Amino acid sequence: MKLSTMTGRLERAKPLDPVVRVVTNAVNKVLPQGPVKDVLHGRWLGHPLHPLLVTVPIGLWSGASFLDITSGESGRDAARRLVGAGVLAVAPTAAAGWADWSELGSSSRPKRVGIVHAASNTVSAAFYGASWLARRGGNHRRGRDLALLGAASVAVGGYLGGHLSYNEGVGVSRNIDAQLKPTEWTDAAPAANLPDDGVLGVHVAGQQVALVCSQGEVYAMGATCSHLGGPLPQGAVQDGCLVCPWHGSRFRLRDGGVARGPASVPQISYDVRTLAGRIQIKVRR
Ligand code: FES
């Protein structure tokens, strides 16, 4: 059976949904939306943190297996340390992954794949933990074999992680196709159409734009939420931010920056002026 057929079945595996619901609730209890979760989402980086962190345990564990295969007895201590360091790196890596996964809302297909991805990586960590214990107990051969089993499980988890990003678009900015237009002042809407402390969705130069009025000032940003594509013109204006109606990401009105996740990528931001009762915008560079 093709890998793509298997992942397709996984995406449609409704029996996973009760597990997904229970785990989502548990993760959201341990990691409610807030500054800690934002750090794990990678808001401070401007893109998701989890894909960066996964390279750490995988790199360390790959190095250990390389030493196991090529260095014989002289590489045993170093291999054990690499395996142990990789196990230690699992905690922040998994926390970042759970943070992102828990904010996929009702997107059931990536959530089903994501929970199997996490289960596979948990099995990997267990194999590598057992490998480290075996090595510490002097049983290098057993440690090496357990590490190879861990590597096989990492491959499964890695494949599913790649599928989540490349096929499901998890962690990919939904503004990727937006163009930085208009570059010159362009008419957007009559000022009278934009209510006080309200939001208006408009099309300008082929781009979807959210015009926002807050405390008498007019702002403009891309209308498609960078997280999972939520419609920002349907969002609410709060504390100098536009709040996405889907998962609550907050984008600063003044520059489109992310004030609160789960989004980690800023919105396109526009300069705004009002001339003769018409709102005009141009992309901010
Ligand atoms: S789509 Fe998820 S926060 Fe906007």
The rounded Å distance from CA 221 to ligand 1 centre is 15
Distance 243 CA to ligand 1 centre (A): 9
Pocket test for ligand 1, best of 249, 250, 251, 265 (most atoms within 8 A of CB): 249
For a pocket test of ligand 1, which of 41, 172, 244 has the largest count of ligand atoms closer than 8 A to its C-beta? 244
Domain residue limits at 199:
186-283
Distance 42 CA to ligand 1 centre (A): 15
* Together in a domain, 240 and 134: no
Mean pLDDT of the chain: 93
Cβ of 219 below 6 Å from ligand 1: no
Q: Which atom of ligand 1 is nearest to the CA of 105?
A: 2
Same domain membership, residue 112 and residue 51: yes
Measuring from atom 2 of ligand 1, which residue has the nearest CA? 247
- Closest ligand 1 atom, residue 249 Cα: 3
Would you tell me the crossing angle of helices 108-136 and 140-166 to the nearest 10 degrees? 160
Statement to judge: residues 134 and 32 lie in one domain:
yes
> Sheet containing 258-260: which strands, arranged edge to edge?
236-238, 241-243, 250-252, 258-260
CA distance 143 to 154: 16
Position 180 scores a pLDDT of 79
Residues 45 and 137 in one domain: yes
* Model pLDDT, residue 285: 78
Helix (H) or strand (E) holding 77: helix 76-102
Alpha-carbon distances of 48 from 27, 263, 277, rounded to whole Å? 18, 8, 41
Number of domains in the chain: 2
How many helices (H) and strands (E) in the chain? 8, 10
Q: Could you tell me if the CB of 264 is within 6 A of ligand 1?
A: no
* Residues 99, 171: Cα–Cα separation, whole Å: 12
Q: What pLDDT is attached to residue 224?
A: 95
Q: Which residues pair with 263 in a beta bridge?
A: none
List, for the chain, all residue ranges whose pLDDT scores fall below the cut of 70: 107
Q: Answer whether residue 275 is part of any domain.
A: yes
Residues 86 and 197 in one domain: no
Going by C-alpha positions, the residue among 278, 275, 271 that lies closest to residue 256 is 271
Confidence (pLDDT) at 142: 96
| 222 and 150 belong to one structural domain | no
Q: What is the pLDDT of residues 92-112, one digit of tens each?
A: 999 999 999 999 977 689 999
154 and 264 belong to one structural domain: no
Q: What is the pLDDT of residue 105?
A: 79
How much distance in Å is there from the Cα of 67 to the middle of ligand 1?
44
Q: Of 131, 166, 201, which closes a domain?
A: 166
Q: Is the CB of 259 under 6 A from ligand 1?
A: no
Q: Is 228 in the pocket of ligand 1 (CB under 6 A)?
A: yes
**CA of 62 relative to ligand 1 center, distance in Å:** 35
d(CA 199, CA 90): 42
CB of 230 shorter than 6 A to ligand 1: yes
Same domain for 221 and 161: no
Would you call the peptide bond into 262 cis, given omega within 30 degrees of 0 as the criterion?
A: yes
pTM: 0.87
> Which of residues 117, 138, 166 is at a domain's end?
166
How many beta carbons lie within 10 A of that of residue 190, not counting itself? 13
Ligand 1 nearest-atom number relative to CA 261 = 3
Q: Are residues 206 and 242 in the same domain?
A: yes
- For residues 160 and 195, state if they share a domain: no
CATH number, residue 232: 2.102.10.10
Q: What is the pLDDT of residue 178?
A: 75
Predicted confidence (pLDDT) per residue in 161-194, tens digit: 999 999 888 888 888 777 777 889 999 999 999 9
- Asked if residue 147 lies in contact with residue 93, where contact means CB atoms within 8 angstroms, the answer is no
| Ligand 1 contact, 246 CB (< 6 A) | yes
The pLDDT, as a whole number, for residue 214 is: 94
